[in-house]
Chains A and B, each alone.
Chain A
Amino acid sequence: MARIELTVDGAQVSDDVEPRMLLVQYLREKLGKTGTVIGCDTSNCGACTVHLDGRSVKSCNVLAVQANGHEVTTIEGLAEPGSLHAMQEAFHECHALQCGFCTPGMIMQSVDLLNDNPNPSEDEIRNGLEGNLCRCTGYHNIVRAVQAAAAAGATTAQPAAEKVEA
């Protein structure tokens, strides 16, 4: 077993884990953060995307021990409880999902995309989301949601409520 200490969605956590435990397993099975889902389990689909030190990663392709000493943000930590991040709001408004399975990863990657490039073109959005697969609807409304969130000035750290006032 290996000792890890990290910050997850703003809370300090420490645990003994097997070195082979994946970050996504740790988040779901140890911390109960089932908002982060396992899709393909082969690092293709992006459904498990979280932020590690503020950058998007596929949490099925990171070991929990590699997150030791670092900061993880999941879809559950994107906004204060009871409120929505501007990107979540935009996905809701633009109907950017059907079954919703890809949505946590789509939203986390979309937030990362706007952190890098606050005003992306449609091409830049599609390229920025190339590591996230949606098997229901295609990507049309997802792209619209990212455009809407960009127009609303979405960034990582601020919950939607604060953004409305800003």
Chain B
Amino acid sequence: MIPAKFDYLAATSVEEALSALSQSDDAKVIAGGQSLLPVLRMRLNAPDLLVDIGGIDTLKEIRDDGDSIVIGAMAPYYEILANDAVKNSLGLLHKAISEVADPQIRHRGTLGGALVHADPAGDCGAPVLALDGELVIAGQGGERTVAAVDFFEDLFTTAVGEDELLTHIRIPKYDGWGSNYQKFVRVAHQWPIVAVGAAVKTDGGTISEARIGLVNMGSTALRARATEQALVGREATVDGVREACDLAAEGANPPSDLNGDADYRRHLATVLTRRAVLAAAGG
């Protein structure tokens, strides 16, 4: 399967990429291309121009910035996985990325590309949302920062405008928090039917704070806020967290498809949330 014809620009700077985007009515940015190329090959999309940001080295950095970690939009998954600061301070994101597709895809694919692709079944959106990430978006008028909660607008739709570029992801550190990512699939390297990511802070066996992200439970990545609030002050035991985790699907509007109907997904979300919270709390 071959994509439809397109023009191609290998941008060497953010400015060059932005200028090309502003001059085309129908351009697409390609980062690692691991989601975009299948789309182009199946001709679900056929842009006139492909702007390749793979050669912009400033977008590949992963930086420890004191209270937060900054990940460039072009940093490939395997580089993020190899980064000790990410592993130590963003455990939930690290665990979710280790479950993305397969090693070959993780060598090419990028966190930035996945977030802008905004597939609600993607592994990364919900963790970035749950961890209160911020997205730095560049346009010709300058940079703006968007909170993850405002970034994911709808199915495959984000706050990044046609002439804009996601350049960095900034996520506050969660030192001392436990984390776990529960991905429910029927076969290897499938998109999750449902996945749940949990980051939990405990104090002597009691949960003091929790962040829960839901994958494939609606048209965007979601956060289980009712569960997060209900977990505070609970003992990190099966009985201690059960009631709170039963609220996980509150407000969610999951899809029905061949892998399961919406009710099944709602049930799955509560079970996976319980497992993720207990594992994250070390219980």
A128 neighbours in B (Cβ, 8 Å): 103
Contact indicator A46/B102 (Cβ below 8 Å):
yes
Q: Is A97 in contact with chain B by the CB < 8 A criterion? A: no
A interface, by DSSP: helix, strand, loop or mixed?
mixed
Q: How far is the CB of A21 from chain B (nearest CB, A)?
A: 8
Q: Is A84 in contact with chain B by the CB < 8 A criterion? A: no
Contact indicator B7/A19 (Cβ below 8 Å):
yes
Size class of B's contact patch? 20 to 34
Q: How far is the CB of A142 from chain B (nearest CB, A)?
A: 14
Contact indicator B2/A63 (Cβ below 8 Å):
no
Contact indicator B33/A62 (Cβ below 8 Å):
yes
B104 neighbours in A (Cβ, 8 Å): 46, 49, 56-58, 109, 131
A58 neighbours in B (Cβ, 8 Å): 104-105, 108
Q: How far is the CB of A136 from chain B (nearest CB, A)?
A: 17
Contact indicator B2/A20 (Cβ below 8 Å):
yes
Give B3's nearest chain A residue, CB to CB. Answer: A20
Contact indicator A62/B8 (Cβ below 8 Å):
no
In this complex, how many residues of chain A approach chain B with their Cβ under 8 Å: the count is 32
Contact indicator B5/A20 (Cβ below 8 Å):
yes
Give CA–CA (A161, B258) in the complex, Å: 51
Partner of B34, one of A46, A52, A61, A116: A61
Give A48's nearest chain B residue, CB to CB. Answer: B104
Give CA–CA (A52, B105) in the complex, Å: 12
Q: Can you list 18 contacts pairing A with B, beta carbon distance less than 8 Å?
A: A19-B8, A20-B5, A21-B2, A25-B2, A43-B34, A55-B78, A56-B103, A57-B104, A58-B104, A58-B108, A61-B34, A62-B33, A68-B10, A109-B104, A130-B103, A130-B188, A131-B102, A131-B189
B-side residues, CB < 8 A to A, are: 1-8, 10, 30, 33-34, 37-38, 40-42, 50, 52, 54, 78, 101-105, 107-108, 188-189
